[in-house]
Amino acid sequence: MTGTVSRRSVLAAAAAGTAAGITRWEPASATPGSGGAGLIAVTGVSVIDAVGGARRDQNVLVRGGRVLAAGHLRRTPVPDGARVVDGRGGFLIPGLADMHTHATEIDPTDPEMYVVNGVTTTRQMSSSETVRGWRKEIEAGTRLGPRWTVGSAIVDGSPSLWEGLGAPYVAVADAPQARAAVRRQRQAGAEFIKTYTRLSRAAFHAIATESRRLGIPFLGHVPDLVPVTEASDAGLGSIEHLFEFWYDTSHDERRLRREIARTHIDGGDYAGWFTTLHPLEYAAARSYDQHKAGRVFERLARNGTPVTPTLVMHRTADVPQDIAHDDPRFKYVSADTLAYWQWATQNIYLKGRTPRESKERRELIGLRTRLAGALAEAGVPLMTGTDLGTAYLMPGFSLHDELEQLVLAGLSPAQALGAATLEPARHLGHRDAGAVARGNVADLVLLDADPLLDIRNTTRINSVFVRGQLIDPPARARMLAEIEAAAGNRPATGVLPMGAGCACHGGTRRA
C-alpha cells in the first residue's frame, strides 16, 4: 500500500460512508392518549444498578429524555396511552460508558456502533474535529450517538513519541512550555488535558499547577519519570492503563527508575518505547512487593484517583498472536480498518519481538489482570475503557469484552457494572446518570438475561434507550444491518490514513 491521505479526504470519505449506508434516525412516536403521550413504560422489569442493587418487578417510565418514574409496579402505575415495552423476564441497566476511546476516523459509524451496543457515554482521549462534528449532530438530534467528552491534543515531552505520526500532539520541553500548552488547549475547547508518556517531572507538575489554576481536569498516562503515587497526589484525574504501576510496587524501584531515566527514545518511535522499556517493565512486575503495593493502592483509594485498566488493549499489545482474526463482529468494519489492524500488529506490537519477549508478555498479561483485581479489592475506583483505535478493538463491542476481563480479574459482575456506569458518571460530574432513578437521563439498556449471573449477558441486548429515544429490537437489527452494509460497501483505498490509529499506542503509517 502506498500514498497519503489528507485530513480533508478522510473526513470526506467518512461523510460519504454515512450517506451511503447509515440512515438518519427517526424516533418512533408514542401512541397518543390521556397522560401517556410521548411516554414509554418498561413494565415488570428487573432493574440493576450500582446504587440500588437489583430490584424485581419494576416499572420504569421514560419521557422527554428523562426517567419520569421508577419503582415497584404496584406503586408506579402506567398512564393510559403510554407505549408499553414488556420487560417481564428482562433486566434493565444504566447505559454503559467507554472512558478511553480514540475514534479511528477510518470508518464513519462509531456513534451508531456505540449505542447499538448499549454504550451511551464515551470519553475521547485526544483532540478530534471529527468527534466534535459527530457530537454536534448528536446534540442536534439528527444522529444517534453517545454523550462525548473530548480532551486536548496529547501533551507529551520533547522529543514526543508522536512526532511524524499524524495525531494531534504538543511536545513540551520544560515547565513554561507545559503551562502554555494547557492554556492553548483550554482556549481551543478541550474539556480536559491529556498527559502522556514522555513528559518530564517538571513539565508534568507544571501541567498540574496550571490546570488547577484554570479549573480544567488533567488526566491520562502517568509519565515514565513520575511515580504513580506522585501523579495521584498531584491531582491526576484518572490513571490510564497499567504500564507504570509495576515500578511503584517493585522492591527494586530505585534501580529501575535510574535505568528508565537513562533510557533514550527517539521522537516518533512508539514501537521503540514499547520494546526498549519492556525488560524494565518485566523486571518490575517480577519484583512485585505485595506490602508496598498495598500502600500504593491505599494512597490512590484515599485520593479517590480512578484507574482505567484497559485490559482489552493490554491483551492486544501483549499477546496479539492470540487475537482471533475470524471474529464474526469484524463484518462491521471496513477493509481499510482491517488493513490498519494488520499493519499495527506487525509494525508496533510484534516488531522486533523475540520468542523470549513473547513468553514474558504472556506472563505479563496474567499479572496485569491480577493487578486490576488487586486495585479493586483495595478500594481504588475502576472505570471501563477500551483504548479504541488499538488493533482489533471495536466501538461498543469491545466494551463488553472489557467487562468480561474485569470479572476474570476478580471483580464481581456488580462491581464490573459499576465500573461501566456509576464510576464514569461520578468522574464526569454527571449527577443525572449512572443509575436508573427518577430524573436521571434515560440512557438505559434492556437485556434478555441477568448480567449478575454472567457478565457476558450484557451482550444479550434487547433494546437501548439513548436520551429517551428507544432503539427497539427491529430498529437495532436495522442499524446493525446498515452498519454492516456501510462497511462492506466502502471500497478499500489501499491507504492507511496517518494518525487514524490509537493516540495512545501508535498511529498509522504507509504500509
Q: What is Dmax (Cα atoms) for the chain?
A: 74
Helix (H, G, I), strand (E, B) or coil at 148: strand
- The verdict on residue 190 lying in a domain is yes
> Using alpha carbons only, how large is the chain's radius of gyration in Å?
23
Can you say how many angstroms the Cα of residue 221 is from the centroid of all Cα atoms in its chain? Answer: 14
Enumerate residue ranges in the chain where pLDDT < 50.
1-34, 498-501, 507-511
Torsion from C-alpha of 85, 90, 94, 96, nearest 10 degrees = -110
Task: Give the containing element (helix H, strand E) for 147.
Answer: strand 147-150
User: How far apart are the C-alpha atoms of 161 and 243, rounded to whole Å?
Assistant: 16
Q: Do 439 and 291 share a structural domain?
A: no
Task: State whether 439 and 414 are in the same domain.
Answer: no
Residue 204 sits in the same domain as residue 307: yes
Distance CA 151, CA 128 (A): 8
DSSP letter at 390 equals B
Domain identity same for 66 and 164: no
Alpha carbon distance 407, 410 (integer Å) = 5
Position 271 scores a pLDDT of 84
Q: Are residues 380 and 359 in the same domain?
A: yes
Tell whether 138 is covered by a domain.
yes
Phi then psi for 507, rounded to 5 degrees?
-95, 180
**Domain identity same for 288 and 402:** yes
Q: Can you say how many angstroms the Cα of residue 447 is from the centroid of all Cα atoms in its chain?
A: 21
Are β-strands 461-466 and 91-94 bridged in parallel, bridged antiparallel, or unpaired? unpaired
> pLDDT value at position 233?
98
The answer to whether 262 and 280 are in contact (CB under 8 A) is: no
**Pairwise CA distance, residues 451 & 461, whole Å:** 11
Angle between helices 397-408 and 355-377 (to 10 degrees): 80
Task: State the pLDDT at residue 386.
Answer: 98
Q: What is the per-residue pLDDT for 505?
A: 53
Is residue 122 in a domain? yes
**Residue 87: which CATH number?**
2.30.40.10
Q: Identify whether residues 70 and 158 lie together within a single domain.
A: no
Q: How many helices (H) and strands (E) does the chain have?
A: 18, 17
Give the residue among 96, 124, 127 at the shortest CA–CA distance from 110.
124
Neighbours of 80 (CB within 10 A): 12
Q: Is residue 500 part of a domain?
A: no
CB 503 within 8 A of CB 125: yes
- At residue 62, the 3 state secondary structure works out as strand
Q: What is the pLDDT of residue 83?
A: 97
Determine whether 182 is exposed, middle or buried from the number of CB atoms within 10 Å of its CB (0-12, 13-18, 19+): buried
Would you state the pLDDT for residue 502? 54
Q: Where is the domain boundary, 378, 412, 428?
A: 428
Q: Are residues 412 and 444 in the same domain?
A: no
Residue-number span of the structural domain to which 374 is assigned: 97-428
- For residue 207, report the phi and psi dihedrals to the nearest 5 degrees: -60, -45
Decide if 20 is inside a domain.
no
Residue 497 contacts residue 10 (beta carbons within 8 Å) = yes
Do 180 and 309 fall within a single domain? yes
Sheet holding 193-195, edge to edge: 169-172, 154-157, 193-195, 218-220, 239-240, 307-308
**What is the number of structural domains in the chain?**
2
Quick check: 136 and 150 in contact, CB under 8 A?
no
Supply the pLDDT for residue 510. Answer: 34
Name the amino acid, one letter, at 146.
P
356 and 441 housed in the same domain: no
Give which of 183, 308, 184, 178 is closest to 238, Cα–Cα. Answer: 308
Among 400, 373, 377, CA closest to 96: 400
pLDDT at 504: 56
Please report whether residue 267 resides in a domain: yes
The enclosing domain of 216 has a CATH number of 3.20.20.140
Q: What is the pLDDT of residues 380-428, one digit of tens each?
A: 999 999 999 999 999 999 999 999 999 999 999 999 999 999 999 999 9
Q: Kindly give the residue spans of alpha helices, DSSP state H, lying in 309-468.
A: 311-318, 335-344, 355-377, 397-408, 413-420, 422-428
Whether residues 116 and 240 share a domain: the answer is: yes
- Cα angle vertex 174, ends 169, 180, to 5°? 60
Note whether 472 and 464 are within 8 A (CB).
Answer: no
Q: What is the pTM of this model?
A: 0.92
Count CB neighbours of 201 within 10 A.
Answer: 17
What pLDDT, in 10s, does the model give residues 484-498? 999 999 888 876 654
Say yes or no: 396 and 476 in one domain: no
